Structure 1
Amino acid sequence: MLAMTDWLKTGTKIVVLVGAGVALAGCAAQYRNHGYVPTEEELAEVVVGVDTRDSVTETIGAPSSSGVLDESGYYYIATQLRHYGPSQPKPVSRELVAISFDQSGVVSGVERFGLENGNVIPLERRVTSSGIQDKTFLRQLLGSIGNISPGGLVE
């Protein structure tokens, strides 16, 4: 009879230890990638002032989204999310490549942005210079982040 109780105690300890190990393994951070951003080698093949919308699509693939206003550009967006236990997934990194076109559909700029601590950081920029300052939809959208004041909402 004594051997049976020792076996039950040992079995219970094993079950508890295995359960604790499974619970701890479930709390390990898991990472998921969403979206697509072309590599630097692929972007090097896009020539500003030469390539068109069709050649960009053939070279680096279809964009994640394109410009809302008059098809002004292609946007490639990639986000890495961290899932940790039961908490909400949080973005760890986000990268955006914006390829802008002129009215004739020729590439006028290639820009790469990152999101660090909520601030948009230009990582790489290849743009043809012109005397005209235009604000693309993406610049307007990203530029308005954080520019809302509580006083402006009350009016």
Structure 2
Amino acid sequence: MLNTKKTLVIFLILTAMVSCTEIYRRHGYTPSEEQLANVVVGVDTRASVEESLGGPITGGNSTVDSFYYISSRWLHYGLAQPKPTFRQIVAINFDKFDVVKNISRYGLADGEVVVLSRRVTAGGAKEISFIKQLMGNIGRIDAEQILQQP
């Protein structure tokens, strides 16, 4: 009985120690400085950048004016919320002729907000709520239109 309790206590202590170890996970890909040095601003095109650096994380279609390469490193510690310890974004901007216009590198310390996708649609409703649209139509109804009489 004593051996069973001792084994159980040792197992629980080892489990607690292992569960509180730091685990780092890496996600994504950003090109190195040497790889970016091969990309010449004003000379390279969208196709040559994709060939030399690989496909971007986002911005892969020809209607987007930028390529984004994103990598991050997260610290997982026990049951605590994962925390980012490293994040890097390489943004390669193109002009209207698909030639490299600018290369930017951002990190966690920069505090830059990079908008990857803008999901705002300018509507014809002019920011009027649905109820206001309904109430606005009440006085515009003509009895002749409803009855369809010539």
* TM-score normalised according to structure 1 size: 0.67
**Aligned ranges 1:5-154 → 2 under 5 Å:** 8-66=1-59, 70-116=63-109, 119-120=111-112, 138=114, 141=115
3-state SS of 2:18 partner:
helix
Taking every aligned residue pair, what percent have the same amino acid on both sides?
Answer: 43
RMSD: 2.4
Aligned residue pairs total 116
Gaps of 5+ in 1: 1-7, 121-136, 143-155
Q: Gapped runs of 5+ residues in structure 2?
A: 117-150
Write out per-residue CA displacement over residues 45-81 of structure 1, whole angstroms, 9 at most, x where no aligned residue: 111111000000000000011189x511101111111
Letter in 1 for 2:99: V
- Partners of 1:86 and 1:45 lie apart in 2 by 43
User: Is the deviation greater in 57-66 or in 17-26?
Assistant: 17-26
Query: Computing the radius of gyration over CA atoms, which structure comes out larger, 1 or 2?
Result: 2
Cα displacement string for residues 107-143 of structure 1 (whole angstroms, at most 9, x for unaligned residues):
0111111112x723xxxxxxxxxxxxxxxx94xx49x
Deviates more, 1:23-32 or 1:98-107: 23-32
> SS of 1:33's equivalent?
strand
| Runs of 4+ more than 6 Å apart | none
The DSSP-based 3-state class of the residue aligned with 1:66 is coil
Greater fraction of residues in strand? 1
TM-score norm. by structure 2 comes to 0.69
